[in-house]
């Protein structure tokens, strides 16, 4: 379990877990958890033959390093140094830099990214691909905060297939947007409030694509700690066959 302070204003507690699953030989997922700076990342690499692992690691290192480098003076200087960029601009810059690093380090490969930067109760999210961020509210609602950049999700949005058909579609893993795929990249970057007295889950599709959302919700709600929640999520994905790498991060904000 990880815990830490963000700017001395509020406490973040949480945990992270990853597992290769029961089918894959290599874990091409990467994650980053730093409660002290409020930076959390999940990346799911693709390309096979370990190139996906290189891509996801490159993206994690680049994004985390960029955000911490930009944000560190604001976080820890006395008196506080004002930011000369918005949090969304910092997140966008980090993802743009990661795009270049993945093209350089793992040509022909790619990776998803779901990134969270927390400043007090405000969350800035950067998202590309089909890893996800979920919000779990105090009243029990469990809702995706991100939108998948996948072919099947797009067909579902257009009303051409149903959610049930999407779940078993043979092309459900095909992405139309990912880091390292093409020279240009359009990321979803936005702000949202942290769910009051709630939690957030970041995860790869090796979790959400295998375990039903209601089961994810129940595991998190019933776990006595974020660490136990992460262990339970990984176990549930493996119990369902573990067809892909599994990564999960649980974040709680204690105001």
pLDDT of residue 182: 78
Structural domains in the chain? 2-141+178-254 (3.60.40.10)
Q: Which two tokens stand for residue 83?
A: 């930011």
pLDDT of residue 7: 39
pLDDT of residue 76: 66
pLDDT of residue 74: 72
Q: How do the pLDDT tens digits run along the chain, 255 residues long?
A: 444 433 334 589 999 999 999 999 999 999 999 998 899 999 999 976 568 999 999 999 999 999 999 887 776 665 666 778 899 999 999 999 999 999 999 998 999 999 999 998 999 999 999 999 999 999 999 999 999 998 777 677 667 677 776 666 666 677 889 999 877 799 999 999 999 999 999 999 999 999 999 999 999 999 999 999 999 999 999 999 999 999 999 999 987
């Amino acid at each position: 379990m990880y815990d830490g302070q963000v700017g001395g204003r509020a406490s973040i507690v949480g945990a992270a877990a990853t597992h290769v699953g029961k089918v894959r030989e290599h874990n091409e997922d990467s994650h980053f958890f730093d409660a002290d700076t409020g930076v959390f990342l999940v990346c799911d690499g693709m390309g096979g033959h370990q190139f996906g692992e290189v891509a996801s690691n490159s993206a994690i290192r680049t994004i985390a390093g960029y955000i911490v480098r930009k944000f560190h003076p604001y976080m820890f200087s006395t008196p506080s140094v004002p930011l000369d960029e918005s949090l969304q601009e910092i997140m966008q810059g980090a993802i743009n830099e990661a795009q270049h690093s993945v093209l350089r380090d793992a040509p022909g490969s790619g990776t998803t990214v779901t990134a969270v930067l927390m400043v007090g109760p405000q969350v800035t999210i950067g998202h590309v691909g089909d890893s996800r961020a979920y919000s779990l509210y105090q009243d029990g609602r469990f809702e995706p905060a991100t939108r998948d950049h996948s072919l099947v999700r797009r067909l579902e949005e257009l009303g051409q297939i149903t959610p049930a058909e999407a779940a078993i579609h043979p092309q459900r893993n095909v992405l139309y947007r990912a880091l390292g795929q093409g020279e240009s990249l359009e990321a979803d970057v936005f702000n949202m409030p942290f769910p009051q007295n709630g939690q957030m889950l970041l995860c790869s599709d090796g979790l959400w694509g295998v375990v039903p959302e209601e089961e994810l919700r129940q595991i998190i709600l019933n776990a006595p700690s974020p660490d136990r929640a992460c262990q339970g999520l990984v176990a549930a994905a493996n119990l369902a066959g573990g067809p892909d790498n599994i990564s999960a991060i649980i974040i709680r904000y204690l105001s």
